[in-house]
Amino acid sequence: MPAPDLYFALVHARTSTPNQWVEGFYHRLDLEVQRRADPPHGLRRGSLYFATTADARRALDVGLPRVRVLIPLYSREFLHEPPPDFGDRLYRVGDPAEPPFVHPVLWEPHLPARRVNGLAQATSLGTAVREYSQYGMVSICRLSAYTEELRQIIEELADRLVSAAEDPDQVPHWLRTRPELPMPARQSPTARFLITVVRPHGHGVDWSPFGTDAGWVTDRVRDAAQRLSLLPEIVLGPAAPGTANGFHDSAGVLLLDAAVLDDPAARLVAERTLHNMPSWMTVVMVIRPDCDDRSHELVAQARAMTRNGVQIARDAREFQRAIDEAVTKARRNFLRSRRSRGPWGDLP
């Protein structure tokens, strides 16, 4: 016999560290849902929330329990790369007529260039709170002046999701009566940030050379890019110049696994990639602790392959320092390069 469903799941653009504002919003919403909950047969009190990418990954590996309502927090990062537990729902045509129902929240005041699932519901949530559509839910959570508005929106959302969860055979009223939105005006795409990973053949983009406690190095780079309001994309090199994910479309960092220098086939790929990369990209070479005694030799080899210079990371602390500097420098170099080539609008 299957376990009863949970009321809702809060889905957001996660990083390797928890977001205190998302966490606070979730706990307040969960409390209001618990206060209203009167679960019928097949439904149980409770909800799902994963604070970090690692938490979500572990839960997905085990298998997620069923929920009646999904509450995605729409932000630039979320719309750019929806979390895996939201699946393909972002651009799904039409609203679901059965659970899980989708009720987004405008976490940031960023409307996408094309219609996305639940945008009307998300907008209608703050009909009486002008600041919600102007500044997004995250600003209301942060500013103490909006305590009353925060309470009002959370209570309205709790009412909506409890009614939907406890009567799943009926299409929720906030789906039936939502206003029809005009298509948002076309927005210029935000600049992407390309994270190109070069590793020995057969290895993926994610690895933890400094131990599992330090996490995946690609998560660290993603976090650094998002702190600058960039939209990171991770590709396994070599990336083809001029393509949708190519070097010439965006600023970026190249992560070089030092192990490629000991693999003849991978070394050839690395040499071509480093030779073809544009001048604005930065390179960070990751050296495992067990290869530290060869670090000078490996550094010399890598620097001989590229005109861009190479930053070195031999432990977690050194990697964090190097990657923060590399991301900032790559972004600055790219913007200077675009300006030097003439007038331009937003980046492709």
**Each residue of 200-224: pLDDT tens digit?**
887 888 888 888 776 788 888 988 8
Average pLDDT over residues 266-276: 84
C-alpha 46/C-alpha 103 separation (Å) is: 17
Beta-carbon contacts of residue 219 (< 8 Å; ≥ 6 apart) = 15, 16, 53, 54, 206
Of 320, 338, 250, 336, nearest to 284 by C-alpha is 320
Q: What is the predicted pLDDT for the residue at 68?
A: 96
Phi, psi of 344 (to 5 degrees): -155, 155
C-alpha 114/C-alpha 157 separation (Å) is: 24
272 pLDDT above the threshold of 70: yes
Higher pLDDT, 197 or 250: 197
Q: What is the predicted pLDDT for the residue at 60?
A: 92
254 pLDDT above the threshold of 50: yes
- State the fold for domain 192-340: Rossmann fold (3.40.50)
Residues 311/282, Cβ–Cβ less than 8 Å: yes
Q: What is the predicted pLDDT for the residue at 4?
A: 92
250 — pLDDT class (breaks 50, 70, 90): confident
151 pLDDT above the threshold of 80: yes
Residues 298/262, Cβ–Cβ less than 8 Å: no
Average pLDDT over residues 101-129: 80
Indicate the average pLDDT of the chain: 82
Structure tokens belonging to residue 108: 């940031």
C-alpha 54/C-alpha 67 separation (Å) is: 21
Residue owning tokens 């979390």: 83
Q: Where are the domains of the chain?
A: 6-176, 192-340
Beta-carbon contacts of residue 279 (< 8 Å; ≥ 6 apart) = 307, 308, 333, 337
C-alpha 47/C-alpha 174 separation (Å) is: 20
SS3 content of the chain, % helix, strand, coil (to 5): 45, 15, 40
Higher pLDDT, 15 or 35: 35
Return the ∠ at Cα 336 (arms to 243 and 198), rounded to 5°.
40
The whole model's pTM is what? 0.60
Q: What is the predicted pLDDT for the residue at 339?
A: 59
Running DSSP on this structure, what letter comes out for residue 100?
S
Running DSSP on this structure, what letter comes out for residue 5?
B
Beta strands in the chain (DSSP E): 6-11, 47-49, 67-74, 101-102, 105-106, 192-198, 231-236, 251-257, 282-286, 311-313
Q: What is the predicted pLDDT for the residue at 182?
A: 42
C-alpha 54/C-alpha 247 separation (Å) is: 28
Q: What is the predicted pLDDT for the residue at 31?
A: 97
Q: What is the predicted pLDDT for the residue at 9?
A: 97
Average pLDDT over residues 329-343: 70
How many Cβ atoms are within 10 Å of 61's Cβ, its own excluded?
7
Residues 311/287, Cβ–Cβ less than 8 Å: no
Higher pLDDT, 335 or 322: 322
Average pLDDT over residues 18-47: 95
Average pLDDT over residues 277-283: 86
